[in-house]
Amino acid sequence: MPPKMGPVILDLLGPELNPEEKELLQHPLVGGVILFSRNYENPQQIKALCQAIRQSRTSPLLITVDQEGGKVQRFREGFTLIPPMAEIGELYDKDQNLGIQQAQHWGWKMASELLAVGVDLSFAPVLDLNKGLNPVTNNGRPFHRESKIVAILARALMQGMQKAGMAATGKHFPGHGEVRVDTHVAMPVDPRDWATIEEEDLLPFAQLIEFGIEAIMPAHILFSAVDDKPACFSARWLRDILRKKLKFTGVIFSDDLNMGGANFTENYSDRAQTALEAGCDFALICNNRSAAINILDQLPHQYFLSFEKYNKLQGKFHDRC
């Protein structure tokens, strides 16, 4: 029988595994690690850290990172600096073919460099629309303000990642474009009606699902005209819309459950359980070790990723898991 895949993705404190982390990674509910700049010194060191993570247990672990480019690039010195995706959007406005070529190139470059040091997954591309309203999206992360152009360039970036051998993760479903509150600080409310959201923000997600994107990350945003729960904790968004309506069959990663937008309860295991019951396959908990331990101690052991879904990602990893 294949090994079970735990649903919790947690972070590490530094460039090497400490004794507590070696123990945590053996917990059956742990399914992966997310790396940050504090974990990185140089390519040789991060490769050794990835090897140590894998050697910490025999069952599979995903090693992930946010390596989008621009301001959100965790590994810098020794890696190629990736431009903000907005620059690719600006290039597309001047020369469509060159913009698409550059998007695919940077997807391939980013994925190739990460795979070479043992990282499985970069949480990219960003599918949010840049309407100049939100701190999460008004910093060069999205490709463009026009949903059709976001879809075109994100598809090219995804194809570059897939060519290198890495699965892609579209975020942040169903989109940050119309809210002004930073989800790292608080939970924004978007009052727009379903028809408007579907026509604008959902288009890049729907098109990339058609083209085979392997994973999606939902947002900590409450779309009050659609459901009374934020998307990351909403069965309406994840099961009814994402799974049934958009026919997405891949993996759903929660956004970080330590963010202000996830603060509907002080109990972190409740946050994780609510996200998983709503339809997430993985629950991310970052920058809060006590919260991670709370989740591992209290989350019921019934929440494991189906191996069929895991294989959708594993197939991109050249059997390194």
264/305 Cα distance (integer angstroms): 24
Q: What is the pLDDT of residues 5-22, one digit of tens each?
A: 899 999 999 999 999 999
Q: What is the pLDDT of residues 133-184, one digit of tens each?
A: 666 666 789 999 999 999 999 999 999 999 999 999 999 999 976 666 666 6
The whole-number average pLDDT for the span 210-229 is 94
Among the ranges given (52-66, 90-104, 182-196, 207-221), the one the predictor scored with the smallest mean pLDDT: 182-196
The predicted structure's pLDDT at residue 210:
97
Among the ranges given (181-195, 223-237, 298-312), the one the predictor scored with the smallest mean pLDDT: 298-312
Q: Output 156 or 265, whichever has higher pLDDT.
A: 156
- 74 has a pLDDT exceeding 80: yes
The whole-number average pLDDT for the span 247-272 is 90
Average pLDDT, the chain: 91
The predicted structure's pLDDT at residue 319:
42
For 127-162, letters b (16+ CB in 10 Å) and e give bbbbbebbebbbebbbbbbbbebbbbbbbbbbbbbb
Residues sharing a CB contact under 8 Å with residue 155, sequence separation 6 or more, in sequence order? 207, 208, 211
Residues sharing a CB contact under 8 Å with residue 297, sequence separation 6 or more, in sequence order? 269
Phi, psi of 259 (to 5 degrees): -75, 155
288/285 Cα distance (integer angstroms): 7
Q: Please tell me the pTM assigned to this model.
A: 0.93
The predicted structure's pLDDT at residue 180:
63
For residues 171 and 216, the answer to whether their CB atoms sit within 8 Å is yes
Report the share of the chain in percent with pLDDT over 70. 89
Options 3.20.20.300, 1.10.150.120, 3.20.20.120, 3.90.420.10; CATH for 8-314 is 3.20.20.300
Instruction: List the chain domain ranges.
Output: 8-314
243/216 Cα distance (integer angstroms): 11
Considering 184, 201, 281, 318, which one is annotated as catalytic?
184
Q: What is the pLDDT of residues 271-321, one digit of tens each?
A: 999 999 999 999 999 999 999 999 999 998 777 766 666 666 765 544 443
The predicted structure's pLDDT at residue 145:
93
The predicted structure's pLDDT at residue 317:
42
Q: Output 151 or 186, whichever has higher pLDDT.
A: 151
The whole-number average pLDDT for the span 215-237 is 95
The predicted structure's pLDDT at residue 263:
78
Q: Containing H/E element for 295?
A: helix 289-298
The residue length of the chain stands at: 321
The predicted structure's pLDDT at residue 229:
94
In the residue annotation, 228 being an active-site residue is answered as no
In the residue annotation, 184 being an active-site residue is answered as yes
184/1 Cα distance (integer angstroms): 40
Q: What is the pLDDT of residues 29-60, one digit of tens each?
A: 999 999 999 999 999 999 999 999 999 988 88
Considering 255, 281, 301, 318, which one is annotated as catalytic?
255
